[in-house]
Amino acid sequence: MMLTRLPDGRQAMTSSICKEKIPLADDAKWLLCKARFLKMTEILRKIISLLLIVIVFFDTSTLFSLELTRMMESSYNISSGDVISISVSPAEEFSREVSVSPDGTIDLPLLGNLKVSGMSTSSLEKLLTDKFSKYISSPKISVSIKRFSSYRVAIIGQIQRSGYFEYNEGMKILDLIALAGGPMDYADSKNIKVYRKSKDSNGNIKEEIFNLSMDSFFQGDLSKNIELTPGDIVYIPRQKFTTKTKWISDNIIPWTMLTSFAISIAIILSK
């Protein structure tokens, strides 16, 4: 709003809401303009409220299940002694589990000896896809680690030092958390997950998920301080809504405060 003067000399206020110059003494027009202004303010308030609801409750977090294991394997470098599973589709007869020999190679039908030591599973998938393409039309290759050569466990998420750690006999989850430097400030220590691969009675690989809370540890209940096994992956998530809340405080709240301030000033000037 801006103070101006009409051609007849009367003072008026220019309003962007009402799109006209309104004489200061014209109470009726000012009431109409104020009503429009308040209506627009209410619409803006609803838009901001809706935006906050969407940000807080629309959870786009990654679903951690068996994909977590594959994510960790993709960053792991294959070494001698590892047992890896190779799935070849549509030619399933070439699928198999193989051990990496001491010289870092594996032996596969059609392909012979291949040097794989030092490669990630994703790199090996690309290599095998390229080589099998000479014999199979549009092959789809999947590589996973079935057993590590050395005893290792991993911890990721809200932890000071994420990654692989050497497994020691009798190692428990609190031992691993301590080795990794402890949880970070926004760690959700009530919802720790342990992902484990094991074999059932028929020799098939199954994957289990254990849910743990550090609160029970701090209260003296160490029954949930489970013993780890080689290949376990421990995941410590971020506290729910922490990231969204920070984004709101940095981006939405300042604009909300500025808008409220502007509305207050406009109402004062319109009186």
In this predicted model, what pLDDT tens digit does every residue of 175-194 receive, in sequence order? 999 999 999 988 998 999 99
Question: Would residue 185 count as lying in a domain?
Answer: yes
The predicted-structure confidence for 62-71, as pLDDT tens digits, reads as follows 444 445 556 5
Question: Would residue 109 count as lying in a domain?
Answer: yes
Q: Say whether both 205 and 264 belong to one domain.
A: no
Q: Say whether both 159 and 202 belong to one domain.
A: yes
Asked if residues 80 and 118 have their Cβ atoms less than 8 Å apart, the reply is no
Which CATH number does the domain housing residue 189 bear? 3.10.560.10
* 13 pLDDT higher than 70: no
The predicted-structure confidence for 131-156, as pLDDT tens digits, reads as follows 999 999 999 999 988 877 667 888 88
Q: Say whether both 188 and 167 belong to one domain.
A: yes
Q: Can you tell me whether residue 122 is helix, strand or coil? A: helix
Task: Point out the domain boundary residue: 116, 147, 178.
Answer: 147
Question: Would residue 72 count as lying in a domain?
Answer: no
Q: Say whether both 127 and 82 belong to one domain.
A: yes
Region of residue 254 (phi > 0: left; psi between -120 and 50: alpha; otherwise: beta):
alpha
Q: Can you tell me whether residue 270 is helix, strand or coil? A: helix
Q: Say whether both 107 and 119 belong to one domain.
A: yes
C-alpha–C-alpha distance, residues 52 and 57, integer Å: 8
Q: Say whether both 142 and 162 belong to one domain.
A: no
Task: Point out the domain boundary residue: 99, 127, 147.
Answer: 147
C-alpha–C-alpha distance, residues 112 and 101, integer Å: 13
* 198 pLDDT higher than 80: no
Percent of the chain with pLDDT over 90: 30
Q: Say whether both 52 and 86 belong to one domain.
A: no
Q: Say whether both 154 and 125 belong to one domain.
A: no
Nearest to 93 by CA among 144, 132, 146, 125: 132
Asked if residues 153 and 167 have their Cβ atoms less than 8 Å apart, the reply is yes
C-alpha–C-alpha distance, residues 242 and 230, integer Å: 32
Per mean pLDDT, which range of 83-97, 118-132, 255-269 is the poorest? Answer: 255-269
Question: Would residue 63 count as lying in a domain?
Answer: no
Nearest to 155 by CA among 147, 165, 145, 146: 165
Dmax of the chain from CA atoms? Answer: 100
According to the model, what pLDDT value does residue 129 have?
A: 96
According to the model, what pLDDT value does residue 49 have?
A: 64
Task: Point out the domain boundary residue: 99, 128, 147.
Answer: 147
Q: Say whether both 160 and 176 belong to one domain.
A: yes
Asked if residues 159 and 111 have their Cβ atoms less than 8 Å apart, the reply is no
* 61 pLDDT higher than 50: no
Question: Residue 126: in which H helix or E strand, if any?
Answer: helix 121-132
Percent of the chain with pLDDT over 70: 63
Alpha-carbon dihedral 212, 216, 222, 226, rounded to 10 degrees: 0
Asked if residues 11 and 215 have their Cβ atoms less than 8 Å apart, the reply is no
The domain tally of the chain equals 3
Ranges 68-82, 120-134, 195-209, most confident: 120-134
Question: Would residue 64 count as lying in a domain?
Answer: no
Per the structure, the complete domain to which residue 206 belongs is given by 150-236
Q: Say whether both 155 and 230 belong to one domain.
A: yes
Q: Give the global pTM.
A: 0.48
Q: Say whether both 169 and 211 belong to one domain.
A: yes
Higher-pLDDT residue of 113 and 215 is 113
Q: Say whether both 117 and 194 belong to one domain.
A: no
